[in-house]
Homo-oligomer: A and B are copies of this chain.
Amino acid sequence: MVATVYDTPDAALEGIGDGVRVMFGGFVTAGTPSNLIRALRRRGTRGILGMANNIGFGDLLDELCEDGQLAGMIATFAIRASSAKKSRFEDQYRRGEVTLELSPQGTFVERIRAGGAGLGGVLTRTGLGTPVAEGKRTVEVQGVTYLLEEPLRADVALLKAQRADRLGNIEYRASGRNFNPIMAMAADLVIVEVEEIVEVGEIDPERVGTPAAFVDRIVQCAPVQVFTP
């Protein structure tokens, strides 16, 4: 189905309840849905299982820890190797208040893609012989051993892009793509904040990064100024 336009990020989160599984697009400051994250903070939704490349690293996701809204994360970068600067998430993780599943970045994006493309999982060499492989099955194909990584899906994906048309066709800018086009395939409800909503036909068909078929809700917001830590 094509998308519906919402007036505010708060309105765009209509219907989202506690215990929800949420994918957050973005890589550090790029393509990060900061307005939607702040709206989720205001909404007070609790028991969230988040999936994002990073938390506490230029992404505002750590704000969801202020009042304990996160139950856990699946991420590729969440705890620093050095203990110089700790996020709230790291504090809560070390106190056992939140769960954390670390996934290698390429495996993470392929698991999401598998979830979105109707595939049963990912067969990868990445992670073999490391803690990532613990408790997981391996499959041998053409004489090579691969780790079987299971697909990821979410109830909701919160994404960020440059522009959308009123059907929900999405145009990304620069490295703002990252996980956004992949997560757009892998959630039951896909909500995208964009800097500008334009009329249908104003986005060049060659420049559509996520076709309207994948998008449920769009909302126009001025980007939040976020800086890399």
Could you list which residues of chain A lie within 8 angstroms of chain B, going by C-beta atoms? 110, 114, 117-125, 139, 141-142, 144, 146, 148, 150-151, 172-174, 205-207
Contacts and interface: CB of A to CB of B under 8 A. Distances in A.
Q: How many copies does the complex hold?
A: 2
Taking each of A123, A173, A174, which has the highest tally of chain B beta carbons within 10 Å of its own beta carbon? A123
Given A120-B146, A121-B146, A206-B207, 4 more contacts: A110-B117, A110-B119, A139-B139, A173-B206
Nearest to A204: B207
A175 to B, nearest CB: 10
Contacts of A124: 118-120
Contacts of A139: 120-121, 139, 148
9 contacts: A118-B124, A118-B125, A119-B123, A120-B123, A120-B139, A121-B139, A121-B141, A121-B146, A174-B206
A24 to B, nearest CB: 23
